[in-house]
């Protein structure tokens, strides 16, 4: 893989189906995944984030790049403050 892809989508908020490979998906957020849906900090990983199990979705391998984007026309930019790799 290169920085130009191919890309594997491991989290897509707003496409409708629950992202079962995340802590918020496991909680059932939310049918339809509405834009800017409030999520209480008590439901976030460590009170601040979303845990995404990449291994549950992406093919086995080593990945060097992460791409965050917002869908065209959504009116908001992608908002990522930090990425932490956990074992």
**What pLDDT does 15 receive?**
83
Check: pTM over 0.95? Answer yes or no.
Answer: no
**What's residue 36's pLDDT?**
80
Pair 39, 24: CB distance under 8 Å = yes
Residue 30: predicted pLDDT: 65
Q: What is the pLDDT along the chain (87 residues), one digit of tens a residue?
A: 677 878 899 998 888 888 999 999 888 876 677 778 888 999 999 999 999 999 999 999 888 888 888 878 878 888 888 999 887
Among 83, 50, 51, 79, smallest CA distance to 66 is for 83
pLDDT value at position 52? 94
pLDDT at 56: 94
């Amino acid at each position: 893989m290169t920085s130009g892809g191919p890309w594997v989508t491991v989290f897509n908020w707003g496409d409708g189906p629950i992202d079962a490979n995340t802590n918020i998906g496991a909680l059932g957020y939310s049918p339809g995944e509405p834009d800017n849906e409030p999520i209480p900090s008590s439901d976030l990983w460590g009170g601040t984030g979303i845990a995404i199990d990449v291994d549950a979705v992406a093919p086995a391998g080593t990945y060097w790049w992460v791409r965050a984007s917002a869908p065209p026309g959504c009116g908001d930019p992608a908002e990522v403050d930090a990425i932490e790799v956990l074992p």
